[in-house]
Amino acid sequence: MKLLKKEFRLCMHPTGYILPLMAVLILVPGYPYGVCCFYTTMVIYFICLTARENHDASYTLTLPVTRRDAVNARILFCTCLEAAQIVLMALVTLAKYAIGTMANPAGLDAGLAMIGEGLLIFALFNMIFFPLYYKDINKPGAAFLIASAAVFAWIVAEIVATYTVPFVRFRLDQPDPAYMGDKALFTAGALALFLAGTASAAMRSAKKFEAADLSL
């Protein structure tokens, strides 16, 4: 808990207070809503980049903690930011329905299934970015480029699926409250994958960080 408090106090990047507000883009007609999650992954990248410049790892490991503790605290910190982004997206979605909504031609409509899509995007990012980042914390940019490429490939696939995959087109990509059972199962599965995938990423990242040479 103390390490998590240290992450919030010393490692939060200013973009962490700004970019999540891009959730308001859900109000824009024809916008690929999954991109809102990408802005939060950028915050995570900036946090890791600034941590490198500030020699955060060297400082953290002077404390009575293990490398595994440091990894778990950082990933939990970033997971809190992702969860906050999901909550903001849900609130903006409610506002969108309150003022009137329309079909989105660029991916899933705003609604419960879109929240599940956001969880899947974060799961994918976490499973790729963190193990690559902790293999060499001096190269956060390389890890971010690879993870971002996977995220945008997923977003494109999701947009295509809303036109070509019957279950997505006629069930998930329908205005709420239609087919809420299917959407709830999809979102629950996405949440399970987010939790399991992030936990797996934390374990793999810890192993890589424990083996990393920080003297370079």
Average pLDDT, the chain: 94
Q: Is residue 7 part of a domain?
A: yes
Q: What is the pLDDT of residue 215?
A: 66
Which pLDDT score, from 0 to 100, does residue 11 have? 94
- The verdict on residue 216 lying in a domain is no
50 in a structural domain: yes
For 144, other C-beta atoms within 10 Å of its C-beta total 23
pLDDT tens, residue by residue, 152-202: 999 999 999 999 999 999 999 998 999 999 999 999 999 999 999 999 999
Instruction: Name the DSSP letter for residue 32.
Output: -
Distance (Å, whole) CA 95 – CA 211: 47
Reading the block at residue 106, the tokens are 């660029």
29 lies in some domain: yes
Residue range of the domain that includes 127: 2-211
Residue 160 lies in a domain: yes
pLDDT score of 213: 81
Please indicate, yes or no, if residue 161 is contained in any of the structural domains: yes
Spans of the chain, pLDDT less than 50: none
Q: Is residue 36 part of a domain?
A: yes
Instruction: Please give the pLDDT value at position 125.
Output: 98
What is the CA 149 to chain-centroid distance, rounded? 14
Q: How many independent structural domains does the chain possess?
A: 1
Q: Residue 91 corresponds to which tokens in the numbers above?
A: 């609130």
Q: What is the pLDDT of residue 147?
A: 98
Report yes or no on 115 lying in a domain.
Answer: yes
pLDDT at 103: 81
**Token couple for 55:** 């020699």
Q: Report the alpha-carbon distance of residue 93 to residue 201 in Å, rounded.
A: 29
Q: What is the pLDDT of residue 158?
A: 95
Q: Which long-range contacts (CB under 8 A, 24 or more apart) does 196-200 make?
A: 197/123, 197/124, 197/126, 197/127, 198/75, 198/79, 198/122, 198/123, 198/126, 198/127, 200/127
Give, as one character, the DSSP assignment of residue 136: -
